[in-house]
Amino acid sequence: MTSLPFTQVDAFADAPFTGNPAAVMPLGQWLDDATLQRIAAENNLSETAFTVPTPDDPEADYALRWFTPAVEVKLCGHATLASGHVLIGGNIAVRFRTRDAGVLTVSRDRDGYTLSLPAWSMEPRPLPDLAAGLGGHPVESHWRDGGYSLFLFPDAAAVRALKPDFAALKALGDIMLIATAPGDDSDIVSRVFVPGAGIDEDPVTGSAHCLLTPFWAPRLGRTKFSAWQASARGGRLGCRLSEGRVMLTGACRTVIEGSFLL
């Protein structure tokens, strides 16, 4: 029997049971991909993060990969923040080498952390099938290759009222759908749906803010603002656009520590 360390963390969370839960599992060396996927399915959280030390990499402290219960993903913000929370120790920052998103850094920031992510642009595009599955009446739709879509709604109430057709959206493939509007108790509000990756609604999505931050900065006329992801759990993020990077701030809460037995 093999015992693997396991920590469950609520990321972008003001208190336990808020934010987005992620499993963080530091490994000494990589397990085969099929085993990593089975572990993530067993954890049954939106993401499980696996890390391996990289002592020969001058730019990173760990290699990092993320799995939903169904697939490996190219970028996950909240599970990176959670991994930083678990592994930062007494350091000021911890750096993660990823396969598709470069090196991501989690730094201490008062009572929480700052996560550095890439800033991604989108282009306006009609997306009638996705819009129909999402529901409501978006006033704009935008697309980024790789399976990212964004829909602008007139107000926060319209975003909160959405009741997507998850079966229809799942049939369209592994696509992230971001619904957003000006906020009511924050500068912006959003909800995020990824049924094609096994996640009907994601509680708080750091990677979505790689798109939301550069989308909203010119509309708000400033590069720093607050965001609320209006899922059932809810999560608060600070967003800042800086030199081609998105800097997200948030707190983490450890809720479970233990061992995963293989």
Look up residue 219 and give its DSSP letter. Answer: H
> What CA–CA distance (Å, rounded) separates 43 from 26?
15
> What CA–CA distance (Å, rounded) separates 239 from 223?
8
| CB distance 96 to 69 below 8 Å | no
Helix (H, G, I), strand (E, B) or coil at 8: strand
Show the tokens assigned to 74.
């190219």
> What CA–CA distance (Å, rounded) separates 150 from 141?
6
Q: Is 47 a catalytic residue?
A: yes
220 φ, ψ (degrees, to nearest 5) = -85, -15
Q: Given the residues 47, 140, 201, 243, select the one marked as catalytic.
A: 47
| CB distance 95 to 58 below 8 Å | no
Q: Which residues are catalytic?
A: 47
